[in-house]
Structure 1
Amino acid sequence: MKEYFDRLFLEDHVRLNHFRNHFELTRKNLMVKNLKRLKRQLEREQNKLDAQKCDFYPSTYELPSEYHIFVEEFRRSPGTVWIMKPVAKSQGKGIFLFRKLKDITDWKKGQYNPQIDPNKEGPETYVVQRYIERPYLIGGRKFDIRVYVLVQSYSPLKAWLYRSGFARFSNTRFSLNSIDDTYIHLTNVAVQKTAPDYDPEKGCKWSAQQLRQYLRAKHGLEAVKNCFRLMDEIFIMSLQSVQRVMINDKHCFELYGYDILLDEDLKPWLIEINSSPSLTASSKDDYDLKFGLLNDVLNVLDLDNRLTGREKRVGGFDLLWDEGPVFVDEEESDGLSVRSSDTNSFLGSYNNRKASLEHVFRMAQFKKC
């Protein structure tokens, strides 16, 4: 019976985002347009160095509407691999890689032009991105990182970063010799679990904690801190880019699933953002992560008014931005080696969420007395 209610809890709370903003952050075309606008704004109001901070996503175009602009870019870089993604699908459906324009001839022939036949339904909208051809590999395999960000408010912007996440690995060693092999290039679990040699016992996931420990052992503390700091910039700048177009309401919130890819230089790239990230569990560890995640969303929202509203950590969530960067309190750093100038970001760090909740509720009750 407990397992039934646990499963029911997960399924029901997937619908927590019913307080939906009218503009979806995850429409890939809208996100890219807003990021480009933010970059132009930074160039005008500040300087090109600040604008370069927006260079965390691959060259991206919406097809068919930006087909001709894409063709100009395509011809400037012959031989480059591109990846096509349908806007309205998930779990790797409809994604393919290509090197030649003839692979997308429907748009080239002008079949997307409504003037030809206004009653004919146009082709599905796709996003085309320059493929990251030098991904960071572990064991010869490509991976991306799923990170959870909770936006409690857009005006003012208040965002929380979840400590736990996971890396999703491909089942086959990376190579550009075969761009048609989805088991090499797509890390979606829905794709990888159909591979002939997929082992459900081992799966294709690492926790964010495992990944951070691996990177730290191989590249050192400072290189990894810089890599994760750049991820924080991705989270904040992507949210800032849509801040003005989001309808804000004090009763609204959003839980986003960010997909981040590292290249050989440990530079993080934003691949996409999901406004309804999958909460289906593929293993016991995955279930525990997502069950705790949903519990902590409710804890941050504090519907029972148990908190003071000044907390920097609630369960597995750390307050990353509150009208500005949030800095760590050394006495609340769980014994980690931090400085007061460090931002309050602990992705991939130890996540004793139950102990955190006990502490934060006890302190909140004490301060309210």
Structure 2
Amino acid sequence: MPRIPVKVKEKGIGDRLIRFRCGLQNTILDVLKARPGWQEVVGDGDPDFFWCEVHWMKDTFDHAYLEEHVKLNHFRNHYELTRKNLMVKNLKRLRRALERESGKLEAQKCDFFPSTYELPSEYHIFVDEYRRNPGFIWIMKPIARSQGKGIFLFKRLKDITDWKKGTEYLPNSDQTKEVPETYVVQRYIENPYLIGGRKFDIRIYVLVTSYTPLRVWLYRSGFARFSNTRFSLESIENSYVHLTNVAVQKTAPDYDPEKGCKWSLQQLRMYLTAKHGVENVEQLFKDINEIFIYSLQSCQRVIINDKHCFELYGYDILIDANLKPWLIEVNASPSLTASNHDDYNLKFGLLNDVLNVLDMENRLTGKERRIGLFDLLWDDGAVILDDSITSDYVNNFATSLNAFLGCKEDRKDNLRQVFQTAQALKKVP
């Protein structure tokens, strides 16, 4: 029986080396190797920390033995949020619950995802919706693929006729025809916010260290991913126009790997503020923060919470021309492979801060609300902004939540202050 046993002191790791295993060969491995006091496990050694791939959780987790302090980077059934059909199912359930308990106005706060149906199981329901709204553009997405694979847009119902073939059950037979891969079909956002005539979406990182109680950290830095081609609804078959995934855009003939198609979240915030004013942009980012909380609450009761597990989610958010944010999807394994030097620095700092929040070295007090560029957004309830904070990044940020998406701060200086404060507090009897 597979197991991950670890010998450990009763009260924690203390000053021992932290032994890690990593299933990936990219930025996370660089971070782990560069971290003082951490050592890679060779052969059959026992790790304290395991950055595993999702298939390991599926195949091995239920049969593994874990010592108290061991940490893994996925929850057992993370797919309740990260598989497209289940994410929508959970969000719809939350919306119905909010309407029953608090009324339609409260339920409308969950209206941040497009009309969505699972195919083939909801095909006939989708057809009814399609016929009520002729002329809409729809987008088809396989539920369990990533990097833009298998996605296509369509206007006519007959465009998915070939896909539908083979879904019918053969009566009086133990066999079925070859069933197509499960997809979701969504109303396509036809009025995306454009910059330089090009569509973009935003990748934002959210760290969940517990579901019971819900404990959520929000990373200040992220990036906007732009399409390589100017937006047009006349060419819905052109992936370079409609799909902003780097995996898709980097195959464009004129793609520049150094420049890429990215802006930092700080650049995007400054641009939007210049165009629309502070108040409108603050409302936009407040709405985005609500997306994180409602989406996590939608699956909170079904996620199998485990003290060994944490999850770094990659949220993909689209902004439309009315400055309304839409949740496109949530990734359980956001790409940690850097596309250029700036991207590497962002991801290296992000992953280091994930380890700082987890604090396997036991250097912090556990009461911190800011660690590196992570801010504690939710701790069994909303974390409210500390009135004592007066630094520049807050001066024009009129929000009560402890959230600073796209705001600047010196990450290393913040960490230095956090660790110094924690050390001083631990010395106080």
| Cα contact 1:67–1:107 (8 A) shared by 2 | no
Equivalences for 1:108-257 in 2 at 5 Å? Answer: 108-109=164-165, 111-115=166-170, 118=175, 120-257=177-314
Q: Confirm whether residue 66 of structure 1 aligns to residue 66 of structure 2.
A: no
Which residue of structure 1 aligns with residue 102 of structure 2? 46
TM-score (norm 1): 0.94
Letter of the 2:382 partner, please give it: P
Q: Confirm whether residue 79 of structure 1 aligns to residue 100 of structure 2.
A: no
- Bigger mean CA offset, 240-249 vs 351-360: 351-360
Q: Distance in 2 between matches of 1:325 and 1:183?
A: 39
Which residue of structure 2 aligns with residue 22 of structure 1? 77
CA RMSD of aligned residues (A): 2.0
Which residue of structure 1 aligns with residue 30 of structure 2? 9
Q: Confirm whether residue 366 of structure 1 aligns to residue 387 of structure 2.
A: no
SS of the residue corresponding to residue 179 of structure 2 reads: coil
Q: Distance in 2 between matches of 1:281 and 1:162?
A: 17
Q: Confirm whether residue 99 of structure 1 aligns to residue 155 of structure 2.
A: yes
SS of the residue corresponding to residue 117 of structure 2 reads: strand
Give percent identity, aligned residues only: 68
**Count of residues in correspondence between the two structures:** 365
Residues 304-345 of structure 1, C-alpha deviations (whole Å, 9 max, x = no match): 211111111001100001111111124345332167962111
Measure how far apart 1:190 and its partner are. 1.1
SS of the residue corresponding to residue 323 of structure 2 reads: coil
Q: From the superposition, tell whether residues 63 and 359 of structure 1 become closer, same or farther in structure 2 (CA, over 3 Å).
A: same
SS of the residue corresponding to residue 259 of structure 1 reads: strand
Measure how far apart 1:88 and its partner are. 2.0
Which residue of structure 2 aligns with residue 34 of structure 1? 90
Letter of the 1:253 partner, please give it: F
Residues 268-324 of structure 1, C-alpha deviations (whole Å, 9 max, x = no match): 000000011111100100001111111111110111211111111001100001111
Q: 1:350 aligns with which of 398, 401, 408?
A: 408
Letter of the 2:145 partner, please give it: K
Which residue of structure 2 aligns with residue 324 of structure 1? 381
Q: From the superposition, tell whether residues 171 and 19 of structure 1 become closer, same or farther in structure 2 (CA, over 3 Å).
A: closer
Q: From the superposition, tell whether residues 184 and 5 of structure 1 become closer, same or farther in structure 2 (CA, over 3 Å).
A: closer
- Bigger mean CA offset, 250-259 vs 229-238: 250-259
Larger Rg: 1 or 2? 2
SS of the residue corresponding to residue 82 of structure 2 reads: coil
SS of the residue corresponding to residue 395 of structure 2 reads: coil
Q: Distance in 2 between matches of 1:126 and 1:267?
A: 25
Q: Distance in 2 between matches of 1:263 and 1:338?
A: 24
Which residue of structure 2 aligns with residue 292 of structure 1? 349
| Cα contact 2:198–2:231 (8 A) shared by 1 | yes
**Structure 1 moving runs of 4+ over 4 Å:** 4-7, 10-14, 16-19, 338-341
Letter of the 1:64 partner, please give it: P
Q: 1:89 aligns with which of 139, 142, 145?
A: 145
- Bigger mean CA offset, 22-31 vs 259-268: 22-31
| Cα contact 2:266–2:406 (8 A) shared by 1 | yes
Q: Distance in 2 between matches of 1:14 and 1:368?
A: 30
| Cα contact 1:17–1:255 (8 A) shared by 2 | no
Letter of the 1:93 partner, please give it: K
Letter of the 2:424 partner, please give it: F
Measure how far apart 1:5 and its partner are. 9.7
Q: Distance in 1 between matches of 2:199 and 2:28?
A: 31
TM-score (norm 2): 0.81
